[in-house]
Amino acid sequence: MQDEFIKLARAGRAFADALTSIPLPPNANTINIPKLTGGTSTGAQADLGAVSSQDITTSLVSFPVITIAGQEDLARQLFDRAVPELADMVLWPDLVSDYNTKLDVQAISGSGATPNATGALSQSGVPAGNTLTYTTGSPTLGGLYSKIAGCVNAIHTTRYLPPDSIWMHPRRWAWCLAQLDSQNRPLIVPHAGGPFNAIGNLEAVASQAYVGQMMGLPVYVDPSFPVALGAGTNQDVIVVARMADHWLAEDDPIKTRVFEEVLSQTLAVRIQCFNYAGLTFGRYPQSLAFVQGTGLSSPSF
Count of CB atoms situated within 10 Å of the CB of 241:
26
Beta bridge partners of 31: 63
Beta bridge partners of 270: 73, 259
CA atoms within 13 A on the CB side of 290: 21
Q: How many domains does the chain have?
A: 1
In a domain? residue 279 = yes
In a domain? residue 2 = no
Predicted confidence at residue 272, as pLDDT, reads 95
Is there a contact between 87 and 270 (Cβ–Cβ < 8 Å)? no
In a domain? residue 41 = no
**Calculated CA dihedral for residues 262, 103, 92, 75, nearest 10 degrees:** 40
- The whole-model pTM stands at 0.93
In a domain? residue 262 = yes
In a domain? residue 21 = yes
Is there a contact between 187 and 193 (Cβ–Cβ < 8 Å)? no
Is there a contact between 87 and 271 (Cβ–Cβ < 8 Å)? yes
Considering only CA atoms, give the Rg of the chain: 24
Q: Is 127 helix (H, G, I), strand (E, B) or coil?
A: coil
The rounded distance, in Å, linking the Cα atoms of 190 and 212 is 9
**pLDDT one-digit tens code per residue, 254-269:** 999 999 999 999 999 9
In a domain? residue 233 = yes
In terms of residue numbers, what domain contains 195? 13-32+66-301
What CATH number corresponds to the domain at position 91? 3.90.1690
In a domain? residue 58 = no
In a domain? residue 291 = yes
pLDDT in tens, the chain (301 residues): 666 778 899 999 999 999 999 999 988 899 999 999 999 999 999 999 999 999 999 999 999 999 999 999 999 998 888 877 777 888 889 999 999 999 999 999 999 999 999 999 999 999 999 999 999 999 999 999 999 999 999 999 999 999 999 999 999 999 999 999 999 989 998 877 677 778 999 999 999 999 999 999 999 999 999 999 999 999 999 999 999 999 999 998 999 999 999 999 999 999 999 999 999 999 999 999 999 999 999 999 8
